[in-house]
């Protein structure tokens, strides 16, 4: 007897978020990136439409990273000392589709750059590379409230993805994103209820739910990955079942979490494995945008994605 596969049919659809704007759209990017849009659980192509592949963004900083292990630093070499050379290497040598810029140099403990310096950096970066940008703050809420509006304004019209808005500190960033035509990252601490509430709060300020990307925060392999996986899965199930407040694509900061693990610092081989397995696991739970660090890990995960979608 032939076994019949039972197919689920869903009433919900994940929002499609476009990052980047080309000349015809009022920006200057050479390409745009679309994430989301699916009406099926991850990689279940027979159950619904999955129009967009998961996308990888290379992470770069506005200042040389001081806490990256040597195994990771050696993948980039001297360009880590020059953010513009770093970005150029990612785009031209590693073929990055988009970049995630962490404004770490604005943190009070890591350079304390002012809003004018931050805006100048983003302006110069937009001229240096032509891929879309994800721009995130340093993690210091008070400083980010000064820095991110300046970054948002100087990138007006480029339709960047800007973050991260959190439940206790979202209004300033939402106002800037509304004024300058960007999309926003809504961050919640591995809690589906907070993720939902934050999306509602942001939409109440007038920003469409279709311009929100959820960062539910994650853990790396061996460090809470299973819990993070289940949160993403639960949120995606709720969205496909019709909950529009959770029907946003997911962004996962894979490189940040994977390279914090002590196992990743044993040697480059272990680190690459840790980042690769973390990323591929999260793709299966619904990740749409993966922010990664090691170029070899990016290459391996790209092959993994293509193995499914090229069929």
> How far is residue 117's CA from residue 106's CA, in Å, rounded to a whole number?
9
The pLDDT-based confidence of 5 (bands split at 50, 70, 90) is: confident
Least confident among 4-13, 26-35, 213-222, 288-297: 4-13
Alpha-carbon gap, residue 251 to 248, rounded angstroms: 10
pLDDT of residue 311: 79
pLDDT of amino acid 2: 64
Say yes or no to pLDDT of 7 above 90.
no
Cα–Cα dist 126/19, whole Å: 14
**Beta bridge mates, 214:** 186, 250
Q: Do 236 and 37 touch, CB atoms closer than 8 A?
A: no
Mean per-residue pLDDT over the chain, rounded: 96
Judge residue 208's burial from the number of C-beta atoms within 10 Å of its C-beta, 0-12 exposed, 13-18 middle, 19 or more buried: exposed
**Mean pLDDT, to the nearest integer, of 230-255?**
97
CB 18 within 8 A of CB 29: no
Question: Alpha-carbon distance 62 to 86, whole Å?
Answer: 10
Tell me the three state secondary structure of residue 105. helix
Residue 53 burial class via C-beta count within 10 angstroms: exposed 0-12, middle 13-18, buried 19 and up:
middle
Q: For position 155, what pLDDT does the model report?
A: 98
Lowest mean pLDDT segment, chosen from 5-9, 45-49, 280-284: 5-9
pLDDT for res 1? 57
Q: What percent of the chain has pLDDT over 70?
A: 99
| pLDDT digits 0-9 by tens, 97-147 | 999 999 999 999 999 999 999 999 999 999 999 999 999 999 999 999 999
**CB burial class (10 A; 0-12, 13-18, 19+) of residue 93?**
exposed
Residues making up the chain, counted from first to last? 311
Average pLDDT over residues 287-300: 98
Quick check: 257 and 223 in contact, CB under 8 A?
yes
Q: Are strands 55-61 and 99-102 parallel, antiparallel or unpaired?
A: parallel
Closest CA to 97 of 59, 132, 134: 132
As separate numbers, helices (DSSP H) first and strands (DSSP E) second, the chain gives: 10, 10
* Angle at alpha carbon of residue 306, lines to 305 and 311, rounded to 5°: 120
Enumerate domains of the chain plus CATH numbers.
16-306 (3.20.20.20)
Q: What are phi and psi of 204, to 5 degrees?
A: -65, -20
pLDDT at residue 3, as a whole number: 67
Residue-wise pLDDT for 177-208, tens only, equals 999 999 999 999 989 999 999 999 999 999 99
Whether 181 and 157 have beta carbons less than 8 Å apart is answered as: yes
């Amino acid at each position: 007897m032939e076994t019949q596969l039972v197919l689920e049919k869903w009433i919900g659809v994940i929002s499609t978020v476009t990052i980047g704007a080309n000349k015809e759209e009022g920006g200057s990017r050479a390409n745009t990136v679309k994430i989301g849009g699916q009406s099926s659980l991850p990689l279940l192509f027979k159950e619904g439409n999955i129009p967009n592949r998961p996308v990888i963004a290379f992470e770069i900083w506005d200042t040389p990273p001081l806490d990256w292990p040597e195994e990771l630093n050696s993948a980039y070499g001297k360009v880590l000392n020059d953010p513009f050379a770093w970005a150029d290497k990612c785009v031209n040598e590693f073929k990055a589709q988009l970049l995630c810029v962490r404004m770490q140099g604005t943190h009070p403990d890591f350079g304390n750059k002012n809003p004018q310096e931050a805006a100048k950096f983003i302006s110069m970066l937009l001229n240096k590379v032509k891929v879309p940008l994800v721009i995130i703050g340093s993690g210091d809420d008070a400083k980010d409230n000064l820095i991110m509006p300046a970054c948002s304004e100087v990138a007006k019209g480029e339709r960047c993805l800007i973050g991260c808005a959190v439940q206790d500190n979202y209004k300033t960033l939402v106002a800037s994103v509304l004024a300058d035509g960007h999309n926003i990252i809504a961050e919640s601490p591995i809690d589906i209820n907070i993720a939902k509430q934050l999306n509602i709060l942001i939409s109440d300020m007038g920003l469409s739910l279709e311009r929100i990307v959820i960062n539910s925060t994650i853990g790396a392999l061996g460090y809470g990955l299973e819990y993070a996986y289940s949160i993403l899965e639960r949120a995606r199930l709720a969205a496909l079942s019709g909950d529009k407040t959770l029907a946003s694509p997911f962004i996962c900061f894979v490189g940040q979490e994977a390279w914090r693990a002590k196992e990743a610092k044993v040697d480059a081989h272990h680190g690459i494995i840790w980042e690769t397995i973390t990323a591929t696991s999260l793709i299966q739970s619904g990740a749409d945008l993966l922010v990664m660090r090691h170029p070899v890990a990016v290459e391996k995960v790209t092959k993994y994605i293509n193995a499914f979608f090229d069929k």
